[in-house]
Amino acid sequence: MGRVTASLDDLPLRDDLRGLTPYGAPQVPLPIALNVNENTHPVPDEVASDILDDIAVALRDINRYPDREFTTLRESFADYLGHGLDASQIWAGNGSNEVLQHILQAFAGPGRTVFGFAPTYSMYPLLARGTGASWVAGSRHDDYTITAEEAAAQVADADPDVVILCTPNNPTGTPLGLDVVEAVYEAARGVVIVDEAYQEFAPRDAASALTLLEGRPRLAVSRTMSKAFAFAGARVGYLAADPAFIDALRLVRLPYHLSALTQAAAVAALRNSATMLRMVDEIVEQRDRITATLEALGYQPHASWSNFVLFGGVADPDATWQALYERGILVRDIGIPNHLRVSAGTEAETTAFLDALASIDSAS
């Protein structure tokens, strides 16, 4: 029999999902991929060996369901984050996207709204719509900053059920001051999520929103192991919040949602956090090198507290992206006119990108 194919239009898809496109960045086998903000440094050999030892132990009981409460992992995250946190204030999932999805399943949904300041992480609208909620986009200044007063006024006007603050912001690298977080929390009647996926790349003296958790039960601070810990393929995200907030997430999580192997790998990586985080200093050095060289080449890089640089002044982003592609280098066109974004890689990867860009001469 011939194979019968159908399109989405032929299926009884939810009306609010029709016409949407899934999240995705190009996945092509180029020598230098600097397009999705990965940590391009491999996990150090001594840490990889320690992780493998713990996974081997976990495999002995793989016929049994894992610890549903992932207690040891939550304790490990609490120890890593500090600030007096304990396991009752920690949640985790298969990547920070799943953690955010849990929050929206619990606090958003049909008839509710999710708010963020655009441009920001492109998954937020998709997660909102996937849970049946509506996405509402606020605005920033041309340099992507926003004051506490402006942020609070926009949140009060929109009156959302969930606010997501990405800091440092993806795709711009822009930080938000804690005064913005405090003002937004006071203006919001719903929950406020501070997505600190790139916090480890911020200056050492930059305060985290973790310092604001006490006395704010509607506040959650989300993190990931994908970036600083070079754990993108392991898919581990987590958050800190009031214990009651954590209880809300238990209502929507799937049973045994974190595998025993995931838990074992993450606990071992956290045990070696000092070694893992040495990569951060190297990445920040390359990020700052990218910024300085882009300025010298005539582009306009935006200040970044993350592991990537968004830069403007690109006369033709499509042509520049293609020219870099043909030279074996993958960067990201995020749809902001005359801009491209590049992740900070190893010294060799960064050199290859900067040399290739200099050879193109595409600054406007």
Domain that holds residue 221: 45-271
The CA-based angle 18-22-28, given to 5 degrees, is 150
Say whether both 31 and 161 belong to one domain. no
Domain co-membership, 230 together with 128: yes
Block residue for tokens 């606090």: 107
Claim to verify: residue 121 and residue 165 sit in the same structural domain: yes
Asked if 163 contacts 188 with a C-beta cutoff of 8 angstroms, the reply is yes
pLDDT of residue 3: 72
**CATH number for the domain harbouring residue 300:** 3.90.1150.10
Is there a single domain that holds both residue 202 and residue 95?
A: yes
- List per-block mean pLDDT (blocks of 10 residues) for the chain, which spans 364 residues: 75 87 78 95 96 97 97 98 97 98 97 98 95 97 97 98 98 97 98 98 96 98 97 97 98 97 98 94 97 97 97 96 96 96 98 96 73
What is the C-alpha to C-alpha distance for residues 18 and 340, in angstroms, rounded to an integer?
29
Instruction: Count CB neighbours of 213 within 10 A.
Output: 21
CB atoms within 10 A of CB 135: 18
Last residue of a domain, one of 252, 271, 290: 271
Q: Tell whether 91 and 173 lie within a shared domain.
A: yes
Would 13 be classed as within a structural domain? Answer: no
Cα gap 201→168, rounded to integer Å: 9
159 part of a folded domain = yes
**Do 98 and 209 reside in the same domain of the chain?**
yes
Q: Are residues 125 and 258 in the same domain?
A: yes
Q: What is the pTM of this model?
A: 0.94
Total count of domains within the chain = 2
DSSP per-residue codes, 13-64: --GGGTT-----------SEE-SS----SPPPHHHHHHHHHHHHHHHTTTTS
Same domain, residue pair 262 and 298: no
Q: Using the 3D structure, point to which of 271, 288, 308 is the last residue of a domain.
A: 271
Q: Evaluate whether residue 11 is within a structural domain.
A: no
Tell me: do 132 and 221 sit in the same domain.
yes
Question: Which pLDDT value is given to residue 2?
Answer: 60
Domain stops at, among 235, 252, 271: 271
**Pair 34, 168 in one domain:** no
CA of 291: how far to CAs of 173, 226, 363, in Å?
12, 23, 14
Question: What 8-state DSSP symbol labels residue 111?
Answer: T
Domain contains 18: no
Contact in structure between 41 and 275 (CB atoms under 8 Å): no
**Which of 196, 201, 209, 192 lies closest to 151 in space, CA to CA?**
192
Radius of gyration of the chain (CA): 21
- Domain presence at residue 169: yes
Beta-carbon contacts of 334 under 8 Å, excluding residues fewer than 6 positions away, are: 119, 122, 171, 310, 340, 341
Do 138 and 53 belong to one domain? yes
Residues 295 and 238 in one domain: no
